[in-house]
Amino acid sequence: MRIITVVCGDDKLENGLSSGNLCEDGEPVQPAEQTLTMQDKTNPLPTDLPLESVSKKEESDTCKQEVPEKEQTRRSVESRDVSVQTEPMSCHTGMYLMQSIYDSDEQTASSGDEWVYPELKTPQRVTIDITEKRMDLYKTIHYECEQNSIRLILPHKDIRVDKVASDGIILSEFSSTEALEYIKAYLNIDGKPELVIVMFTDNGNLRSRNYARKKEEWERNSYNYITMIKDLQFDVSMSCNCLIDVGCAVDNENCTIFDADILGLYTRFFFPKSGHVAREVRYNQQILWTANQGEDGKCISCAIYTYGTTSLLFFRVKVGEGIYYRWFDKVDGSWKEVERFFFFRKKEEMAKNRAETRARWAENGFI
């Protein structure tokens, strides 16, 4: 699904964030009905959407919640005492897995010993204001795509977002069946949001809502947002040709690269930097696409979805005013082009398998 425009965006990813009717990878997104109220308001990709990044220390601090003391279960074993220590083994979305560690040089666990789990907490219900800096609630990524300055907002997994606001004005509210996935804000020359695209799921179906600033107020804008995106583009004094290597994992002089856990899958995004025109896409030495001679074709974004050992790649190519998609499956270490139907069916299977795995982990107290 389209997410962020950093230098290489996918239609699906962009859709929710830029185009509206499609996700970045070209999957359709349904616009949502809603009345606007003007009230107060993990494992990163092993090798593979985005604004200010949160430092590891800050992310770690958000996990360091006070863990309730384990109930004393110390017991005497035969002729020696065994002391039980409670130690947090992992931290994910505010929940801890506690493991009993025995200070004994004999067998570490006996039949009466068991894992101890704290009571799982209900997700915190919050309002996200896109003009505030709240790293305890969400991660922001700032990037540029097609001469637009974009802020991507990704809510943390341990919160339940009820409302989205800007400067205290409520833009979007969510029902019990709706869940916020991410927010994409297009900024003006002063760095303030002018167009906001809210991507959310409703009973598992991806939906979008678009809001445009009119002076000091906001209004729903379901149809004219593409025109607004063009109006918010900034000028580039000069440009140079470059290539995008989807085998890279970090930013380089040509391309902005970042990872995000979005829409159920780990995703790595690639966006050509401002002033750079991507005329070729490759994976190390494997050439995946090259612009035709005499055409003004360019790649505007790429994304890699990953789950386990399975990876999918898609990128968007712009020729004139037309947008075209290319979809790939990774087979035996190289990328093989596939049909749209195959791509989305496999992507859906990956997201489903990951959701089922995470549900089992949560049931057993591992996350």
What is the full DSSP assignment across 275-297? TEEEEEEEETTEEEEEPPTTS--
CB 308 within 8 Å of CB 327 = no
Statement: residue 245 has pLDDT above 70: yes
At 26 the pLDDT is 62
- Give 162's pLDDT tier (boundaries 50, 70, 90): very high
- The answer to the question of residue 20 being in a domain is yes
At 199 the pLDDT is 94
- Give 157's pLDDT tier (boundaries 50, 70, 90): confident
- The answer to the question of residue 157 being in a domain is yes
Nearest-Å Rg of the Cα atoms of the chain is: 23
At 3 the pLDDT is 38
Q: Where are the alpha helices (DSSP H) in the chain?
A: 11-14, 56-63, 225-231, 340-363
Read off the pLDDT of each residue in 152-168 and give the average, rounded to a whole number.
Answer: 91
Q: Which domain holds residue 350?
A: 11-38+124-354
CB 57 within 8 Å of CB 234 = no
> Would you tell me how many other CB atoms lie within 10 Å of the CB of residue 167?
14
At 204 the pLDDT is 81
Ranking 119-123, 160-164, 282-286, 357-361 by mean pLDDT, the lowest is 119-123
* Total-model pTM: 0.66
- The answer to the question of residue 165 being in a domain is yes
Statement: residue 80 has pLDDT above 80: no
- The answer to the question of residue 70 being in a domain is no
Rounded mean pLDDT of the chain?
74
Read off the pLDDT of each residue in 22-29 and give the average, rounded to a whole number.
Answer: 60
Statement: residue 256 has pLDDT above 60: yes
Q: Which residues contact 260 (CB under 8 A, 6 or more apart)?
A: 3, 4, 49, 50, 141, 152, 154, 266, 267, 269
Alpha-carbon distance of 19 to 179, in angstroms, equals 20
- The answer to the question of residue 329 being in a domain is yes
**Interval 204-229: pLDDT, tens:** 888 999 999 988 889 888 677 888 89
Amino acid occupying residue 49: L
Into how many domains does the chain fold? 1
- The answer to the question of residue 205 being in a domain is yes
Statement: residue 271 has pLDDT above 90: yes
Statement: residue 318 has pLDDT above 80: yes
- The answer to the question of residue 113 being in a domain is no
- The answer to the question of residue 139 being in a domain is yes
Alpha-carbon distance of 277 to 269, in angstroms, equals 16
- Give 321's pLDDT tier (boundaries 50, 70, 90): confident
Exposed, middle or buried: residue 176 (CB in 10 Å: 0-12, 13-18, 19+)?
Answer: exposed
Residue 43 has φ and ψ, to the nearest 5°, of 70, 85
User: Per this entry, what is the length of the chain?
Assistant: 367
